[in-house]
């Protein structure tokens, strides 16, 4: 499972990234909003953790842009903006959860786990083998066959 972590406070970003990786998530982390939008459009993510107060572009604006093209990827706001109106605004924009700083790291990890579990596609719904352009990908065994040969894929 891949997570996009957007947090401009470096220490928080490093701690959250490390703990997510210890829970076997692949994490792409950035402190810049423009990079977050770029990464989102270039890569697949199963969940986004998004700070609100970022340089250049706010997390609310990032959420709005993401929701224009993708209504399915879960978004969790993690922010110091803790008024009821801030929370309501974030949830109205399409966030699935809203956690205020300071936060309990274990709580964040559990919310991530639960949200991914609820929103991820069941492996039973995926085709076992997908073929395209002379290539084959087996989603059960994580093997791929292409022109250069066979590959073992990571989850």
Q: 115 and 151: one domain?
A: no
Q: Which domain holds residue 70?
A: 2-120
Nearest to 155 by CA among 24, 60, 20: 24
pLDDT of residue 151: 78
Q: What is the pLDDT of residue 101?
A: 95
What's the pLDDT at 130? 79
- Within this chain, do residues 137 and 113 fall inside the same structural domain, yes or no? no
Residues 44 and 63 in one domain: yes
139 in the same domain as 92:
no
Averaged pLDDT for residues 15-39: 96
Is residue 84 domain-shared with residue 128, that is, in the same domain? no
Residues 79 and 94 in one domain: yes
In the prediction, which pLDDT does 62 show?
A: 97
Q: Are residues 102 and 130 in the same domain?
A: no
How does pLDDT run across 101-120, given as a tens digit for each residue? 999 999 999 999 999 988 87
Same domain, 112 and 73: yes
Confidence band for 29, pLDDT divided at 50, 70 and 90: very high
Residue 77's domain is classified under what CATH number?
Answer: 3.40.50.2300
What is the count of structural domains for the chain?
2
Q: What does the pLDDT look like over 41-75, one tens digit per residue?
A: 999 999 999 999 998 899 999 999 999 999 999 99
Calpha distance 43→41 (Å, rounded): 6
Please tell me whether residues 40 and 67 are part of one structural domain. yes
C-alpha dihedral (86, 4, 29, 6), degrees to nearest 10: -10
Higher pLDDT, 133 or 63: 63
Q: Cβ–Cβ contacts within 10 Å for residue 108, how many?
A: 18
Q: Quote the pLDDT of residue 148.
A: 79
In a shared domain, residues 112 and 128: no
Helices (H), 23-104: 33-42, 59-69, 84-92
The proportion of the chain whose per-residue pLDDT surpasses 90, expressed as a percent, equals 73
Calculate the average pLDDT of the chain.
91
Query: Do 106 and 152 lie in a common domain?
Result: no
Confidence of residue 152 (pLDDT cuts 50, 70, 90): confident
Q: Are residues 60 and 47 in the same domain?
A: yes
């Amino acid at each position: 499972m891949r997570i996009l972590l957007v947090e401009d406070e470096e220490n928080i970003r490093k701690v959250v990234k490390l703990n997510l990786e210890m829970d076997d998530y692949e994490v792409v982390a950035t402190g810049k909003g423009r990079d977050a939008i770029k990464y989102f459009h270039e890569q697949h993510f199963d969940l986004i953790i998004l700070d609100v107060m970022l340089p250049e572009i706010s997390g609310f604006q990032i959420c709005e842009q993401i929701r224009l093209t993708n209504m399915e990827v879960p978004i969790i706001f993690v922010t110091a903006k803790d008024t009821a109106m801030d929370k309501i605004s974030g949830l109205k924009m399409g966030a699935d959860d809203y956690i205020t700083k300071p936060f309990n790291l274990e709580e964040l990890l559990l919310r991530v786990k639960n949200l991914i579990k609820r929103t991820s596609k069941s492996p039973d719904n995926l085709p076992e083998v997908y073929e395209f352009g002379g290539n084959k990908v087996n989603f059960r065994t994580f093997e791929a066959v292409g022109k250069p040969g066979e590959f073992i894929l990571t989850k």
